[in-house]
Amino acid sequence: MHDCSGLTNTAGRIGSKYREWAQLLVRDGFVVLFPESYGSRGLGNQCSVRSRAIRPDHELVEDANASRRWLSQQPDVRADHISLLGWSNGASSVLWTVRPQRKTDDRPDFRSAVAFYPVCRRLDSTAWSTRVPTLILIGAADDVTPPQDCEHMVAGAKGRSARISILVYPGAPHDFDLPDRPPQTRTDYAVSADGTGRVHASTNFAARTDSLKRVPQWLAR
C-alpha cells in the first residue's frame, strides 16, 4: 500500500522505493501486488491535501481486501500466505485493515502485516489492536508520523491482540528506507508532527539495511 505521493513518480514510473522492495521480495520467492489507489481514481499526489477523498480507514481498506481476495484466487499464490505491507499513509491503511472487526468475507485472512512509519494517533484513540501478527517500523526522528503515538498504541494493545512488534530506529527520519535520498525538507505537508506542514525525509542506511533483512523474515514466518 503506497504512501500519500501515490505509486508512480512524475515520469509515470513506479517509485524507486516500491521497485526495490518488489525486486527484493520477488527474489525471495514472493508474489508482489501494488494496488494503485490514487491513479486508478484519477488522483495525483495527495501529500498536501488536508481533506482527502481516499481515506486510509475506508477506501484503502477496501483496496487492501479486494487485493487479498483477488490474490487468493490466483493459481500461483498460496491463499493462506498473503501478507499486507504499507508505507506512511498506506501503512495507516494496513493498521486499519487488520483490526479485529474489519474482515467481512470468507476468503483466507492476511497472514501478517508490516507498517512502515504509519500515522498512529487516530488509531490509538480507537483502542487499536490487530487480528494478525503485525510489525511496525518507524524512525525516532520522524516528524511526519511521530513514533511516540505508535509506541503508546502498541502498549495499549498488549494482552488483547495478536502478536505486535514495533522497532524505533534511532536517528531515522521519515522515508528512511528509500534507496538513496539525500536530506530533503518539505513545507507543504498536510500531516506533520508539529502542525506546520514542515517535514524532513532522507535515507537512513542503518535503518534501511535492517529493514531490508527484517521484513522478508517477518513475512516468511
Going residue by residue through the chain, which has 221 residues, state the pLDDT in tens, using 9 for 90 and above.
999 999 998 888 999 999 999 999 999 999 999 999 998 998 988 999 888 889 999 999 999 999 999 999 999 999 999 999 999 999 999 999 999 976 678 899 999 999 999 999 999 999 999 999 999 999 999 999 999 999 999 999 999 999 999 999 999 999 999 998 999 999 999 989 899 999 999 999 999 999 999 999 999 99
Residue 92 in any domain: the answer is yes
Do residues 113 and 215 make contact, with C-beta atoms less than 8 angstroms apart? no
| Overall domain count for the chain | 1
Q: Which helix (H) or strand (E) holds 137?
A: strand 134-139
CA 213 to centroid of chain Cα atoms: 17
* This model's pTM is above 0.85: yes
Residue 6 in any domain: the answer is no
Residue 49, C-beta contacts closer than 8 angstroms, at least 6 positions apart? 190
Residue 22 in any domain: the answer is yes
**CATH of residue 131:** 3.40.50.1820
User: Could you tell me the residue range of the domain that residue 46 belongs to?
Assistant: 16-219
Residue 184 in any domain: the answer is yes
Residue 44 in any domain: the answer is yes
